[in-house]
Structure 1
């Protein structure tokens, strides 16, 4: 399996189709003829899409949205928490749009760990101080197990996921400096990853812009991690 930042139309289309399939399976989105799910955040240059490839097939995906022109996706339900983070002088990026096509939890966890390592290294390379996420409470332990996320937001009913509960998680890299987990992702124990930027072409951005429904809320926190 290969972990990489997607930028080709084929890889991105597979990624957004997989997100749609996962979210439809979980009952979080309405049926769309396009079979594609992406938000306005995906069209920003501060957002990157990560994929796991088995040969040329995308079997898993996750997105990283930087705190840019639209703020953070989860800010619409956790505005106070985001304000506190910014007052600390921290620049964070949000992970979301997580989807996997395999049924095996073991394979999913292995893949999530591999993508998480690349994602964390990319976030640090881009100058972010850490990561945030909005996830279903039952998936919060997975995030804490693979990456040392901590819950900082109380459970809320998310209006953009058919009322499913969500909690906000955060990971500040410097808080874990020197730990075994930090070394695994960033230090001598980590496997060097290709963190170079893979910007979309304008043609690619224009192509996917047609699939964004701007009437939908922009929030796309990870609420349907496992099928």
Structure 2
């Protein structure tokens, strides 16, 4: 009886503290949150942070996520004991994991805009974010194993740092967006300087089992300045500016890429079949439009047996590209003959296919011209091809030109072939 009374007293005491804390002005609450930060600049060497790429790593991530979501009421229990979403099937989604002594203890996923859009698009307007230019990534599926939730951020902060480093250096991302429970939004606002997409709370967010949600965004282009001002003068363990923007953690295992790609796809045909057909009904429950979009992404014959079947007219109104496009971020130059002589144009290539590429160009380049282009597809991968400028698209983010290749050279073909099968990292570094 005494233990029950003590437990009841603790609950009432904590509830009273939360109520008292809630009446403080937001700046005062945020300052208290920032003083509670404890980010270890020298984590235990047994902690490893990497991309989840094996079946075992992905299963462990999905199980931790499932248990956390079920406990919070954000989903109903699944027979597989895993939370698997259609977005995890896309090559534009990357799942990170934190491992301690070889055991997965935390996970987070970054969903870059792909054929399914973003989960939070169903309830939040992103037009204001898009208008600022730059790629967007939704941060989702964050969970830490129960055994490590009371470690004072020993898993959470390294995982968040890995996410930030990956998004800025490898994922070609400017804006982060999140949809979180109203009870947790202030932590993101106070510690990470997220700004709400809208003041009102969404009462029913389908992606979280109808739970309420608040949307927020962080502009990584200006984040360093904002963090520097907010954490100025703080000790190393309480300074998230130094932690995120200056510190190097040996625990983080960044991907090694042969090409300057912006995605790290890991879903082989076997993994797709295991997670989305055998362990769940995700593929079966997709509508025909999304099934057709999956077929447009995974065009290789090896994937056909594991992709969901659709009706004969399901692709009507959704024409598939003759050549699949792949996200990349690399420099290049195209040279045209002009009456004044040869004129070079500096390019920033953002997308490639077997037959062409799309690039940003700050100079006035006329359509219809043919010239010679040299594209740096990787650190030691330079392709020289004859191209024609065929399309021009002006946006608030810049001017983008579409180029058609007369004939791809060997290096270009090898790059596209590697992108087709997702082999862009260690397995092709030899």
Q: TM-score range by the shorter chain?
A: 0.7 to 0.9
- 1:45 equivalent to 2:91? Answer yes
Summarize the Cα distance change of 1:6–1:145 in structure 2 as closer, same or farther, 3 Å threshold: farther
> What aligned pairs does 1:28-107 form with structure 2 within 5 A after superposition?
28-78=74-124, 80=125, 82-102=126-146, 105-107=149-151
- 1:185 equivalent to 2:244? Answer yes
Aligned pairs, how many?
A: 215
Distance, in Å, in 1 between the alignment partners of 2:248 and 2:113 is 26
Distance, in Å, in 1 between the alignment partners of 2:180 and 2:163 is 17
> What aligned pairs does 1:1-227 form with structure 2 within 5 A after superposition?
1-78=47-124, 80=125, 82-102=126-146, 105-107=149-151, 109-125=153-169, 126-153=171-198, 154-160=200-206, 161-178=208-225, 179-180=227-228, 181-187=240-246, 189-191=247-249, 193-196=252-255, 198-200=264-266, 201-210=268-277, 211-213=280-282, 215=285
Distance, in Å, in 2 between the alignment partners of 1:18 and 1:86 is 32
Cα deviation for residue 106 of structure 1 reads: 4.1
Distance, in Å, in 2 between the alignment partners of 1:56 and 1:86 is 39
Gaps of 5+ in 2: 1-46, 229-239, 256-262, 291-430
Distance, in Å, in 2 between the alignment partners of 1:54 and 1:184 is 20
Task: Output one character per residue of 1:94-135: Cα deviation in whole Å (capped at 9) or x when no partner.
Answer: 111112222665426332211111111111122110211000
Distance, in Å, in 1 between the alignment partners of 2:166 and 2:194 is 17
TM-score (norm. length: structure 1)? 0.84
TM-score (norm. length: structure 2)? 0.46
Secondary structure of the corresponding residue to residue 10 of structure 1: helix
Summarize the Cα distance change of 1:103–1:56 in structure 2 as closer, same or farther, 3 Å threshold: closer
Gaps of 5+ in 1: 219-227
Segment drifting more, 204-213 vs 66-75: 204-213
Cα deviation for residue 60 of structure 1 reads: 1.2
Segment drifting more, 27-36 vs 56-65: 27-36
Radius of gyration: which is bigger? 2
Report if the CA contact (8 A) 1:18-1:100 is conserved: yes
Summarize the Cα distance change of 1:195–1:158 in structure 2 as closer, same or farther, 3 Å threshold: farther
Distance, in Å, in 1 between the alignment partners of 2:130 and 2:281 is 28
